[in-house]
Amino acid sequence: MLITDTVTLGDVRVNDAGYLETFAHTARTGVQQYLGIEAGRPDLAMVNVYRDEREVFSRRSLDTFSKIPITIDHPPTGVNSENWRKFAVGTTGEEVLRDGERLKIGLKITDKAAVEAVRAGKRELSVGYSTELVWEDGVAPDGTPFQARQTNIIADHIAIVSAGRAGPQCRIGDSWATVSEPKKEPTMADLTTVVVGDSAVQIAASDATKLEAFKASMKQSLADAETKHADDLKAKDADLAKKDAEIDALKGKILSDADLDKRVKARADLIATAGKIAKDVKTAGLSDAAIRKAVVTAKLGDAALSGKSEAYIDARFDILAEEASKVVDGFKAVIEGGVRPTNPVTDSASAYQAMLDRDRSAWQTAGKQEA
């Protein structure tokens, strides 16, 4: 994250070329307070941040304070080769030293307007640097509690500002007698009340706009997240409803045992009827409609069904089936019914009696013939 800190300056002089030269004491150890919004925690009004000497005086951190740009106020972004001409009004020295609990570093302001701004009273400096915050509660060696500590401190620039974080003791040229007005304490006009979470806090009016903009952004982000969540739930509900409909449709296609028996019998009857009408027709793997069409085609030919509807084909099949049922198989009839004589004799006793009757009346028949 990007953060700023006040710089303390020593004796100041302007050389013959008009450049302002001095040295600064900066990057002290210990606990400093930041607005929650500065530390990336808008839910907190203030945050105590601890810097221990291992981080402040590490070689990696010290090297970043050497020969960095000096600016008028903090630029909206870090200073680099692309925007140096736009923002830089001077530079720090090459040598960076430890002086007690602070760093001591030389400064040279080379821009005329910046030198005049300092002469007019814009005397405080603020370091702009990046750092990583480790959020953990603790207590500094001096007994001050903190909520986070800094690591990986990398300096970017030093800005000339009207008021720095550490107050009037951190001004350019404390030894200059021409500027001696004390730092103005904030008045009620300089402060405004904002609501952070469940609390109302007072902050500098100049920071209120940023905080409110941040709150509005967070509120919009929350609203967008809630909308997306609701849309996702609707999409999932729609998917579930679709699956339920598919399940219901599949349930409707499941046959009961009785229905299955009916389907099997109907299929068997259809195949049997097809065999009566057209013995050579192949029914394996065909649907009921395809079987009927194959049978009608076998009997009547393809031309008879050209352009005809399925209903027409079904009707022709029914006619052929009815005709086939009227054809009697003679051999089958004989096997089932037996040979029937013209004058059938019902039993052997009756046949014997008939023979005796014929013999007794035979003379009568013979006399009639002689006469």
Lowest mean pLDDT among 3-7, 36-40, 167-171: 167-171
Q: What is the mean pLDDT of residues 280-285?
A: 86
Residue 92 lies in a domain: yes
Whole-model pTM: value is: 0.45
Judged on CB neighbours under 10 Å (0-12, 13-18, 19+), 107 is buried
Same domain, 126 and 211: no
Contact (Cβ atoms closer than 8 angstroms) between residue 114 and residue 90? yes
Q: Is the pLDDT of residue 292 over 80?
A: yes
What is the distance between the alpha carbons of residues 177 and 281, in angstroms, rounded to a whole number? 122
pLDDT at 23: 84
SS (H, E, C) 60-110: HHHHCCCCCEEEECCCCCCCCCCCHHHHEEEEEEEEEEEECCEEEEEEEEC
pLDDT of the residue at 84: 94
What is the DSSP code (8-state) at residue 171? B
What span, in angstroms and rounded, lies between the C-alpha atoms of 53 and 61? 11
Count of other CB atoms within 10 angstroms of residue 190: 13
Domain, as residue range, for 348: 330-364
- pLDDT(197) > 60: no
**Looking at the structure, do residues 90 and 79 belong to the same domain, yes or no?**
yes
What are the start-end ranges of the H helices in the chain? 53-56, 59-63, 84-87, 112-119, 205-253, 257-277, 288-300, 310-326, 330-337, 348-360, 362-370
Residue 370 is assigned to a structural domain of this protein: no
CA 34 from centre of chain: 35
What does the DSSP assignment read for 221-276?
Answer: HHHHHHHHHHHHHHHHHHHHHHHHHHHHHHHHHPPPHHHHHHHHHHHHHHHHHHHH
Query: 12-32 pLDDT, tens per residue?
Result: 788 999 999 988 877 678 898
**Among residues 137, 238, 120, 240, which one has the least CA distance to residue 181?**
120
307 & 178 share domain: no
pLDDT tens-place string over residues 84-143: 999 999 999 999 888 888 888 889 999 999 999 888 878 787 888 888 889 999 999 999
Q: In this structure, is residue 371 part of a structural domain?
A: no
Of the ranges 128-132, 148-152, 212-216, which one carries the lowest mean pLDDT score? 212-216
- When the pLDDT of each residue in the chain is averaged and rounded to a whole number, the result is 78
pLDDT at position 303: 84
Q: What is the pLDDT of residues 294-306, one digit of tens each?
A: 988 888 888 888 8
| 115, part of any domain | yes
How many CB atoms within 10 Å of residue 195?
11
Position 246: which residue type? Answer: E
In total, how many domains does the chain have? 4
Q: What is the pLDDT of residue 68?
A: 94
Give the count of beta carbons closer than 10 Å to the beta carbon of residue 270.
Answer: 17
Are residues 55 and 142 both part of a single domain? yes
26 and 119 together in one domain:
yes
**Residue 113 and residue 155 in one domain:** yes
- How far apart, in whole angstroms, are the C-alpha atoms of residue 151 and residue 103? 17
Do 121 and 217 lie in one domain? The reply is: no
Asked whether residue 166 falls in the same domain as residue 146, the answer is yes
Whether 121 and 213 share a structural domain: no
The whole-number average pLDDT for the span 338-354 is: 62
